[in-house]
Amino acid sequence: MLTNKELLLVFSCLAIGSMFLLLSSTLMISTDVILMLFAFVLLFFSQFVELHIGGLRFTLRAFSALYLLLFLSPESVGLLSIISLLFSTRKIKSILLRTSFEFLQFSVGIFLYRHSPNDYLNIFFFALGYFATNAILSQIFVKYLARDSISKYMLALSLIFILGIYSSAILTVPYMFSEIKLGNLIFVTVLYAGFLVQLYYTVTAEIWHQELKLEKDQVGREIANLMKLPEVILESRKEDVDKVLSDMLALAANITGYEYALLNIFDYKANTVLRIASYGISDEAFKNLKEKKPSLKETLLLMQQRFDVGGVYFIPKGGVDLDEIYTYKPSDYTKIDSENAWDPDDLFLVPINQGGRMIGYISFDKPRNLFRPTKREIEMSKFFAWQIGEVLSESKYTSFFSTNYRREQSLSKFMDELSKNIETGTSFVLAYLDIDQFKAINFRHGFEYGDEIIRELKSIISSEIKNLGIFSQIGDEFLILIWSKSKSDGVLVSEKVISEIKQRFENISISAGIVKYPTDASNLEEVLDKAQTALITAKKSGGGRVISI
């Protein structure tokens, strides 16, 4: 969704662009289908060739548009350029911003093109209007939407403007000849293509140089911060644990490249989440966060398997509905227009595990490079989560998470938990698993073999649901309650259980029925009835499969 500022900018671009078009006298659209098709293909593919200049992303589409002015009217090129932008991304927000910008840039360019003193200067005047408008719009976007400093992009904007004017000067060469012939056009095409190739490789080489410099700086930063780690660990037994945790959190944030970090632990007795350390957050904001104690169960809903990325959880904007009690959002955010850009509403959560279960997590926010976490950053964050977990295991906080958390519950307690969730309107997923042909297996292989299957199945279920729920056994049937708002989590857990048991016992298959509350059922009886119906359907379908209502 567009913000009010973005909507205002889009409508302003369309309104001002329309005014310039109205003042441009006659508008001309080419009817040469073959030439128009060639132009569209060129514009479409050139927009995927990117030039990164001084922190700004620029494509070759504008330079291709200038070249096409040798053959088509600027109105025709503008129309095709805007159409090509519709296929540049799937994000509606990006499409609206890009097309409105392009519309205004072409409108100003067309206005100056139509009012140039002679044909020789047509393309030059168009480039003047197009790239000047581009520079102005870029400054508006950086200052009011990205909320970043304009000064650090001025050199890049000036360079792009100069390159645009220079490229238009190259394209005026055909007008130097007494008449335009095919040979002259080929000469200019080769000359212009050579300029673009040289430009691309020059910029690419500079990017490589900058990447190497950034890599060197990053390695230097990591080494400098890692050198502090032994000292922090040694001090952990002498100093206040809160200071040690704050220092380690600061090291983790600096090495992974995030400006904010929050350390959270689970209070299993009170069923809440405690905030015990922060980095980059003001004292007042941290005090407010500490006073808010989110529900442990609701927090665990964030740790869904679909968000698992190499042992951490990355939750993109819109992935889950979050109450403000769970988050801290910095106000001074810079947003960039890129597919892999970090969004202010993204979440990066790194679990802290001890003894096979989660005892807390670290949340990181506002990456310095403005992009979503890389594999390197993920691995470094996991390393620090482990280090912090070691400190926590010998700290005053152990009493909060050392309570014996039992994943397996008696049937009565399991039903009580189901009822509580329904009474409070808490979303959950119920998986109903049954071993196919279990009686026949007992008679064929013996009851000890059957008992071994049950033991293995319990172990697998306990391992797979982690802190996401509980389960109960009824003979050769298992009920699994998963605290999740996504039915896919129930399907994934069931499929993993079936896959694991199949690896250990080749002749065993398990069927499963999945139901979600409150989407599929409104009360306890209906939840159990529909789960059983799904299980029976799975068995009648041949067994060894998962069926969801």
pLDDT (tens digit per residue) in 342-393: 888 889 999 998 877 788 999 999 888 888 898 888 988 998 899 898 888 8
Total number of domains in the chain: 3
For residue 192, what are its two tokens? 């212009």
Query: End of a domain among 362, 379, 401?
Result: 401
Length of the chain: 549
Contact (Cβ atoms closer than 8 angstroms) between residue 408 and residue 462: yes
Residue 429 · residue 549 · CB < 8 Å? no
pLDDT digits (tens, 9 = 90+) for 104-113: 999 999 999 9
Residues 62 and 137 placed together within one structural domain of the fold:
yes
Q: For the residues 471-495, what does the mean pLDDT come to?
A: 88
Query: In terms of DSSP bridges, do strands 428-435 and 477-482 run parallel, antiparallel, or are they unpaired?
Result: antiparallel
| Assigned domain for 189 exists | yes
Q: Do 417 and 392 sit in the same domain of this protein?
A: no
User: Are 387 and 467 found together in one domain?
Assistant: no
Average pLDDT over residues 395-406: 73
Within a domain: 31: yes
| pLDDT band at residue 229 under the 50/70/90 scheme | low
Q: Cα separation of 136 and 18, whole Å?
A: 18
pLDDT at 303: 80
Asked if 447 and 523 sit in the same domain, the reply is: yes
Clarify whether residues 393 and 417 are in a common domain: no
pLDDT at 318: 77
Say if CB 510 and CB 454 are below 8 A apart. Answer: no
* Claim to verify: residue 381 and residue 253 sit in the same structural domain: yes
User: What range does the domain containing 33 cover?
Assistant: 4-208
| Residue among 287, 270, 266 nearest 278 (CA) | 287
> Is the domain of 107 the same as that of 189?
yes
318: left (phi over 0), alpha (psi -120 to 50) or beta: left
Do 383 and 283 share a structural domain? yes
pLDDT band, residue 332 (cuts 50/70/90): low
Backbone angles phi, psi at 472, to 5 degrees: -145, 150
Of 316-330, 389-403, 523-537, the range with the lowest mean pLDDT is 316-330
Q: How far apart are CA 37 and CA 45, in angstroms?
A: 12
Q: Does any domain span residue 345?
A: yes
| Cis preceding linkage at 294, omega within 30 | no
Report residue 121: phi and psi, to 5°: -100, 5
Q: Determine contact, residues 30/69, Cβ cutoff 8 Å.
A: no
Inter-CA distances, 261 with 193, 255, 288, 366, Å: 48, 12, 15, 9
- pLDDT the model gives residue 294: 85
Band the pLDDT of 339: cuts 50, 70, 90: low
| Of the residues 377, 401, 425, the one at which a domain ends | 401
Q: Is the pLDDT of residue 335 over 80?
A: no
**How large a percentage of the chain has pLDDT more than 70?**
87
* Cα-Cα-Cα-Cα dihedral sign, residues 181, 184, 188, 194: positive
The answer to whether residues 55 and 197 belong to one domain is yes
Distance CA 397, CA 388 (A): 12
- Provide the residue type at 120 as one letter: Y
Judge if 69 and 154 occupy the same domain.
yes
